[in-house]
């Protein structure tokens, strides 16, 4: 089936991917300003995850890119074309955009093949393009079935095949896995990951799930209250969050109060190297996996007590309270070593950390790369 898939993929992406540029996009519903000067750039062939909490404007931004909503200001370009801007609104069907909605929006009274052919010119609705799109998502031969007879994962793939069949320049996915239960979600996510990697189609997908964003996205655009507050590779966003909010929204983080003196902060978990230089009162972003627990020892570590243990199988997270005050989350190995009430020693062992001035949103320490000049 793989050979069949890759032959069909060549056919499906023949027109080549477009890039997307959104500049200063604004959108309001009544008094509610939902998009506030949003900037987003998606390189041709790359996958960008739009990550943010419920209600921050992710779906609205996706719908503005698709042309399902009109902008109040700013511009959207797809490939070389301005599709939305002052006095301009190209309708969705002329944007070369494929979209998969949260509920997949399959037509229940149509067969799988009719669903997939829906966006194609009439004469091609029964032809090889439908079969090619179905084969591409691993559903060859199921065209005559009714969507209701398919599993959730298969229905999701029908929705993908329908979006891909007209050879879109870009693919937009709105919470594509939210209708699937946890076990199926991971499996379907891997299938979609493989498909997107093979196809090289420019993709923006909306999610509020950090793991999903990190696994699928070449880049993550973190959205908060109608703005994109940071866009970068998952590793860059995780290691160097642009704001205190990003630090805590994207992954687990301890914000540890300390005193910075150049490239080191003195904190209740000992000295922490900083990613750049800072002075004075700071809050240091200490990821739980960058703290280590040991048996109490006069030789090192800050004394603490285990308050809770969360066992996840692949690792164990401890909530520990330092004798010096704050509670911290500590991620350790898969074999639980300590229990509630145990006395432990905590120390920092990790790469240089980002620090924010106490009480401020922006980082205290200029990133190391930026401070060279
Ligand atoms: P979720 O993850 O919950 O889907 P989201 O980040 O995708 O959230 P949007 O669906 O873009 O958020 O909605 C952003 C805000 O705009 C919400 O407060 C929502 O109620 C409001 N909104 C969205 N569409 C409309 C509309 N057509 N009319 C009025 N308000 C709307």
Mean pLDDT per block of 10 residues along the chain (373 residues) reads: 43 67 97 96 96 95 95 96 94 91 84 89 81 86 90 87 89 87 83 87 94 95 97 96 94 94 95 94 97 88 96 96 93 93 96 89 50 26
Mutating to test ligand 1, I would choose from 49, 57, 66 the residue with most ligand atoms within 8 A of its C-beta, which is 57
Residue with CA closest to ligand 1 atom 19: 55
CA-wise closest residue to 304 among 292, 312, 316: 292
Q: Whose CA is nearest to atom 31 of ligand 1?
A: 29
Residue 174 has which token pair? 């709105």
Residue whose CA lies nearest to ligand 1 atom number 25: 29
The torsion angles phi and psi of 296, rounded to 5 degrees, stand at -60, 140
Q: Which residues have CB under 6 Å of ligand 1?
A: 29, 32, 34, 52, 54-60, 208
CA of 55 to the centre of ligand 1 (A): 5
Q: Name the residue of 59, 63, 174 whose CB sits within 8 Å of the most ligand 1 atoms, as the mutation to test its pocket.
A: 59
Q: Rounded to two decimals, what is the model's pTM?
A: 0.87
Nearest CA to ligand 1 atom 18: 55
Atom 26 in ligand 1: which residue has the minimum CA distance?
Answer: 29
Q: pLDDT by residue (tens digit) across 263-273?
A: 999 999 999 99
Share of the chain above pLDDT 70, in %: 92
Q: What is the pLDDT of residues 287-327, one digit of tens each?
A: 999 999 999 987 789 999 999 999 999 999 999 999 988 89
Paired with 148 in beta bridges are: none
pLDDT reported for residue 360? 60
* Alpha helix ranges (H) inside the chain: 2-12, 58-66, 112-117, 128-136, 152-164, 182-199, 210-216, 234-239, 244-249
């Amino acid at each position: 089936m793989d050979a069949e898939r890759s032959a069909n993929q060549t056919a499906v992406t023949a027109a080549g991917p477009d890039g997307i540029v959104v500049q200063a996009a604004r959108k309001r519903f009544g008094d509610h300003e939902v998009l506030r000067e949003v900037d987003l750039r998606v390189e041709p062939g790359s996958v960008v995850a739009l990550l943010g909490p419920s209600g921050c404007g992710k779906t609205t931004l996706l719908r503005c890119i698709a042309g399902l909503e009109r902008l109040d200001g700013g511009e959207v370009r797809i490939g070389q074309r301005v599709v939305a801007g002052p006095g301009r609104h190209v309708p969705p069907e002329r944007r070369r955009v494929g979209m998969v909605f949260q509920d997949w929006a399959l037509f229940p009274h149509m067969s799988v093949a009719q669903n997939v052919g829906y966006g194609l010119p009439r004469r091609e609705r029964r032809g090889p393009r439908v079969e090619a799109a179905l084969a591409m998502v691993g559903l060859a031969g199921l065209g005559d079935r009714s969507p209701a007879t398919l599993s959730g994962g298969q229905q999701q793939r029908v929705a993908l095949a329908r979006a891909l069949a007209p050879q879109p320049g870009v693919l937009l996915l709105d919470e594509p896995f939210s209708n699937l239960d946890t076990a199926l979600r991971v499996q379907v996510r891997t299938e979609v990951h493989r498909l997107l990697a093979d196809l090289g189609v420019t993709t923006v997908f909306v999610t509020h799930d950090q793991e999903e964003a990190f696994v699928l996205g070449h880049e993550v655009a973190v959205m908060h209250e109608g703005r994109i507050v940071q866009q970068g590779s998952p590793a860059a966003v995780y290691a160097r969050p642009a704001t205190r909010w990003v630090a805590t929204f994207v992954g687990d983080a301890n914000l540890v109060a300390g005193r910075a003196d150049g490239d080191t902060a003195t904190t209740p978990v000992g000295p922490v190297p900083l990613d750049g230089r800072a002075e004075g009162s700071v809050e240091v972003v200490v990821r739980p996996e960058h703290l280590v627990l040991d048996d109490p020892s006069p030789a090192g570590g800050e004394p603490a007590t285990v308050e809770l243990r969360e066992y996840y199988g692949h690792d164990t997270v401890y909530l520990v309270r330092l004798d010096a005050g704050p509670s911290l989350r500590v991620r350790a190995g898969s074999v639980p070593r300590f229990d509630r009430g145990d006395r432990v020693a905590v120390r920092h062992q990790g790469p240089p950390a980002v620090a924010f001035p106490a009480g401020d949103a922006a980082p205290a320490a200029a990133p190391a790369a930026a401070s060279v000049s």
